[in-house]
Chains A and B, each alone.
Chain A
Amino acid sequence: MVLIELINVKKRIRNEEILKGIDLKVYKGEFLAIIGASGSGKSSLLYIMGLLDFPTEGRVIFNGHEVSSLDQKTVSKIRNENIGFVFQFHYLLPEFNLLENVMIPLIKKGVPKDEAEERAYELLKRLGLGGKEKRKIYQVSGGEMQRTAIARALANNPEVILADEPTGNLDSKNTQIVMQILQEINSSGTTVVMVTHELDLAERADRIIQMRDGLLVL
């Protein structure tokens, strides 16, 4: 069953065509890896799939909804409830501790604070961060930050995790941990789309697509 469908998607930024007509279907429950050199358009494609950005031309269908026909509020709601982002840099909010960072999407969804706290505790524990919930982000390691970012992405049980070079900033040990977590998430039924330029990591995915100069080549 198709979760995200891109039909002839083009993206132009300042007269430069970043995406040159992408047709792609992401199926529910699959682990898709997008590989390609730097500047090939992988991240741009991911942002469009995650409804953070919109194509200059073409159509994006998310879970059966034509994205261009949705208002901004609905798009934000979809991002909050159905999509989880993980970036190369953790992008945790420094004002909040680990627990509160994970609580943010839950609070946004309208989950009561007590419930949100309980869920965040559970997620952090699941990702091996039990006992560190009240720490500020500068009090934990890079790998722990990234795991917190994954916990945040999982907070609302999204249908898809979009990971943009999630291990790009980690050492090999933490890379393995993060990859294992992503595989576990996928095995529990959540779709995972991961952008990477490392082929060995991409090989852990169910399907690999390659991008070159704004086009899918594989």
Chain B
Amino acid sequence: MNHVIFVAYKLLLERKRQTLVSVAGVAIGVCALIVMSSLMFGFQNYFIQQVIDLEAHISIKPKEYQDEDRIVKKVDPNSLWEVYGNKPKEKDKIIGWRDIIKDIQKRQDVEGVAVHLVVRGILKYGAKEKPVTLIGIDPDMEPKASVINRFLENKRLERLKTNRDAIIVGKLVAKDLGIKDTGKKVILSLANGRIALLKVEDFFNSGITNIDNTRVYMHINTLQALTDRIDEVNEIVIKVKDVNDAQKIALELQKHLKYDVESWQRAYINFLQIFKIQNIITYMIVFAILIVSAFGIFNIIMMTVLEKKKDIAILMAIGYSRRDILFIFLSQGLAIGFLGAILGFILGYALQEYLSSVRLDVEGLIRTKGFILDRRPIYYFYAFVFSMFFSFIASFYPSYRASKLNPVDIFRSA
């Protein structure tokens, strides 16, 4: 192989400027792939991880029933009676929830189960008020089904046990109400007209805007008492051992339950679909850059082949085989790809370092103080594989053509 490298190296160095341009093209593609991947997946993985940690992997909820409001018309189209509306039936509870969770706990693939009572209410602090989603939790059961503690700023989940008027307020709920410290008293108004004075014991800060902006946690018994729904629950949350199995387990549970069983994948399907589209668009852009750089490689190798026909012929006369000629030009393309990848790694790493140091307040789907980067080395590996692949594809045809040249024709034409 030395004889191939001996010639290829010289040919490559001979065209320093074109080689550098081609290397820079590949480097930009590699850098783009690394940085775009780490940005996209950093954001997506963060979001999914928060959702997985915080939300139920599987939730069981009562199905929403709404009676058909034109049922009378259907029975007798000529009837004088007409129903203009119909209240939903009061079925917002899970009957026999203790037996259900007992069955679920027996499963090997389930880590833990907890129950919730979820109702709407309005929280008031001073002159400010805000509609919230109240989630009644059992502080003993809840950590088995979520990592709620991780998101508590003061880690005071236990206070819900000892202090029945304690609540944990979403960070953005607190912000909107103007609550900055714990210990503040807030007034809760419920749909049944009940009003309660509650004490803010902790703040819940997941970083996901629509969760932190609506949620208030309190002890399930307190909420049951306030809503006159003693011993009622309307949500069972399940944490599974492997989050990727959630959908499969949900489908299995659905077969035996009359309630709605929903995996996190189904609950967040819209986000996951958007992420998928986002990834496709990102990779299309990155591949477009890599294809452009591949054309650069194709161009330089093809030009070299066309200009070096005589050299190719003489190399064949000296004893280089067609295979050697193929490798001489192919190795030039691969060398450009390799050097481009290395330069791209350096640029990508530098850009990642810069982006990770940038401070900015982002408040959208998630809240963060800067870019969330996924800096796993696997993206460097992918970038390397793609750059080498595109370099190989780009240089193969000109190299193949070089290897098929007939030295005698070249000597005759000279």
Contacts and interface: CB of A to CB of B under 8 A. Distances in A.
Interface of A: 43-44, 47, 50, 52-53, 72-73, 76-81, 85, 87, 89, 91, 93-96, 100, 103-105, 107-110, 113, 152, 164
Interface stretch (B26-34, B53-61, B236-244, B319-327): B319-327
Given A43-B412, A47-B408, A79 B10 contact: no
B411 A104 contact: no
Given A95-B14, A100-B10, A76 B319 contact: yes
Contacts of B141: none
A107 B11 contact: no
Contacts of B318: 79-80, 85, 104-105, 108, 152
A104 to B, nearest CB: 6
Contacts of B2: 107, 110, 113
Contacts of B7: 93, 104
B316 interface: yes
A47 B319 contact: no
B316 A52 contact: yes
Given A52-B317, A76-B324, 4 more contacts: A76-B316, A85-B314, A93-B315, A108-B3
10 contacts: A52-B407, A85-B318, A91-B311, A93-B314, A94-B311, A95-B10, A95-B13, A100-B10, A105-B319, A107-B6
B311 A43 contact: no
A80 B408 contact: no
Interface centre among B7, B313, B414 (most CB of A within 10 A): B7
Interface string B382-414: 000000000000000000000000011001101
A39 B399 CA distance: 32
A110 B6 CA distance: 11
Given A72-B321, A77-B319, A108-B319, A95 B11 contact: yes
B174 to A, nearest CB: 72
B266 interface: no
A95 B15 CA distance: 10
B321 A87 contact: no
A91 B322 CA distance: 19
A121 B314 CA distance: 21
A138 to B, nearest CB: 13
A47 B411 contact: yes
B375 interface: no
Contacts of B408: 44, 47, 52-53
A117 B2 CA distance: 14
Contacts of A44: 408
B411 A87 contact: yes
Contacts of B316: 52, 76, 79
B317 A96 contact: no
B58 to A, nearest CB: 64
Nearest to A96: B10
A56 to B, nearest CB: 13
B7 to A, nearest CB: 7
Interface string B215-238: 000000000000000000000000
B310 interface: yes
A55 B403 CA distance: 21
B406 to A, nearest CB: 8
A104 B14 contact: no
A79 B319 contact: yes
Contacts of B14: 94-95
A113 B412 CA distance: 33
Contacts of B310: 91
A197 to B, nearest CB: 16
A79 B317 contact: yes
Interface centre among A80, A81, A103 (most CB of B within 10 A): A80
Nearest to B321: A76
Contacts of B323: 73
Interface in B178-237: none
A76 B408 CA distance: 14
A164 B414 CA distance: 13
B188 to A, nearest CB: 83
B393 to A, nearest CB: 25
Interface in B58-82: none
Given A87-B411, A107-B6, A50 B317 contact: yes
A79 B3 CA distance: 15
A31 to B, nearest CB: 21
Contacts of A108: 3, 318-320, 324
A94 B323 CA distance: 22
B300 to A, nearest CB: 15
A50 B315 CA distance: 14
Interface string B1-37: 0110011001101100000000000000000000000
Nearest to A149: B314
Contacts of A77: 319
Nearest to B317: A85
A43 B317 contact: no
Nearest to A74: B321
Nearest to A90: B314
A48 to B, nearest CB: 9
A91 B314 contact: yes
A215 B169 CA distance: 104
A152 B317 CA distance: 11
Contacts of B317: 50, 52, 79, 85, 91
A144 to B, nearest CB: 17
A109 B316 CA distance: 13
B321 A104 contact: no
Closest 8 CB pairs of A and B: A80-B319, A76-B321, A108-B3, A95-B10, A91-B314, A79-B319, A95-B14, A53-B408
